[in-house]
Structure 1
């Protein structure tokens, strides 16, 4: 049994999710201690319990400590079984993080799976539906991980209750990830300005702001405005680039009393910093792509505009399972190059 110290590094839920995924894939039992020890409310929260129960469902795992607030979990996996599943967080907790917990194990299983998730789809501190669909999905599909997603209902904080339907196809094997930014080409950015249960001028102001800032930098931008069905008010400005050898997505979320222009500025500031860096991948994708990279054939390599604590923590977790070899080449103490040597 592999012992995982949940207080390592950033000490959050990522250690739990990555450990569950790798336990299912490798068949190795795990005991996680000090779960989310560095968070204001340590232990398993509803979202994390949903991850645990979802993982247990798809592989018939035996569990100890799968309770609200628990800081210790024993997970003894069985064989991953593709099929039809439904998982509900029960709060506005992120359904995308639950999806990422079970994606790789199911993609590496022998058959297709269809899953319905209910909870938060566009909430703070997690990748939103559109990031997973428009940035993460193209990146991993290049490696051989194929899935489809449909957003049936948006889930904003505080009510959540969004609905996402996914179909995961079996992979024939994972190839390496080696994006190469194409220099000198004109950058084209896409953006979504969305609202739910709010006046239409909110999304129009978000759109106007992102166009004004980017066109002022002579960056071409294509903005789509949409009104989404949701159980409570919410707004989103998501801008991304996925192509030209680059993957980056940046989110601004509305909140009570927060001007629409500030929502747009939050997304655009992240985008501009990424574009100026010249890196192939943003910091979010860099830690998310690590797990498939250590399982892929051959050597993966990509540049990032920021070596985050999440990335460093994921490197440590994969090392606990004896998977791959990761080398970081920092350029300025922040950005750098990641080299990952997977399976032969």
Structure 2
């Protein structure tokens, strides 16, 4: 097999059905990353065809524009577009400054660029992205900083993060700073997470009353106490700077043999503070119910690409297999000669196993 970060010798463009599987923006972001790294162009049709607002949204468009700015030509790059052609060209990693212009997810744009930058950089590069840092259906900053960053470090990809300003829907205006070190992902076997060490978290607000954060924290503490988890639990109340208003909670479950797993609840207009806490606690308890699982569902999706780009076999366990994970595996297979298998058990208490051969 040729090195995943070098052209494979197959110059034919990859044809991708954007409505396949979960049919969201992850297909496009993975394709952009792999196109830059392999030198293979792609044509995508039916972009986000299954969504309420089909086609490219501003955050997807910004990921496309950022990839083109780094090293590519694109046809069909406009909001609402359902078809796109991307042709990569040779590039050198460099500092980048990007503005989504809406509350669209800065994290998803960063993850599109991360591997193409890290695997081609000769020295550290800085990426600054303005947009949303707390988004539904996208990694919130606490997840990025505590979980995604730790996974990347474990795989040999060092990255530092900062959030000078929080960005919530609909105002946006957040800022995400990333310092990306040169690196190549290493293969890894991660069979289980080990015993629980502690649970910690933050309940925070941006330009809202402190008592809202306190209510979120108190509800989470009560729910966790009632759950019977035998662990030390500590949740702090914080204020995030930023131009808009918002509330959120992030809870980290720390285990002996795994990076912290992050579970986030987001506030929105008309949503009780207690429901914000319940959202995060419910996800955490679902994770803990599958005792050996090494990864939460969001991490399982996001480590798949770097492990597929590593030399050698990898494997890990996850408590729930999402359509995101299946779709990401299918997209990776279109670019790389890697065998990716996902084995699920009919027993809900037994984790699924992901293997990259």
- Deviating more after overlay: 153-162 vs 294-303: 294-303
Hey, what's the Cα distance between the residues in 1 that align with 2:74 and 2:193? 48
Instruction: Please state how far the C-alpha of 1:115 moved relative to its aligned partner.
Output: 0.9
Q: Of 19, 22, 26, which aligns to 1:7?
A: 19
Aligned to 2:321: 307
Q: Of 183, 186, 209, which aligns to 1:199?
A: 209
Are 1:210 and 2:246 matched, yes or no? no
Are 1:56 and 2:68 matched, yes or no? yes
Aligned to 2:270: 257
Are 1:137 and 2:153 matched, yes or no? no
Hey, what's the Cα distance between the residues in 2 that align with 1:11 and 1:186? 35
Is the 8 Å Cα contact of residues 196 and 256 (structure 2) preserved in structure 1? no
SS at match of 1:187: strand
Instruction: Please state how far the C-alpha of 1:6 moved relative to its aligned partner.
Output: 0.7
Instruction: Please state how far the C-alpha of 1:231 moved relative to its aligned partner.
Output: 1.5
Hey, what's the Cα distance between the residues in 2 that align with 1:54 and 1:211? 41
Are 1:281 and 2:295 matched, yes or no? yes
Is the 8 Å Cα contact of residues 181 and 244 (structure 1) preserved in structure 2? no
Is the 8 Å Cα contact of residues 59 and 105 (structure 2) preserved in structure 1? yes
Aligned to 1:231: 243
Is the 8 Å Cα contact of residues 214 and 220 (structure 1) preserved in structure 2? no
Aligned to 2:252: 240
Instruction: Please state how far the C-alpha of 1:84 moved relative to its aligned partner.
Output: 1.5
- Deviating more after overlay: 253-262 vs 153-162: 253-262
Is the 8 Å Cα contact of residues 20 and 52 (structure 1) preserved in structure 2? yes
Normalised to the residue count of structure 1, the TM-score between the two structures is: 0.95
Instruction: Please state how far the C-alpha of 1:178 moved relative to its aligned partner.
Output: 2.1
Is the 8 Å Cα contact of residues 294 and 323 (structure 1) preserved in structure 2? no
- What CA deviation, in whole Å up to 9, does each residue of 1:236-290 have, x standing for no partner? 1111225422342111011122221111111011001101112110111111111
Q: Which runs of 5+ in 1 are unaligned?
A: none
Are 1:181 and 2:192 matched, yes or no? yes
Normalised to the residue count of structure 2, the TM-score between the two structures is: 0.91
Aligned to 1:39: 51
Hey, what's the Cα distance between the residues in 1 that align with 2:243 and 2:61? 23
Is the 8 Å Cα contact of residues 80 and 106 (structure 1) preserved in structure 2? no
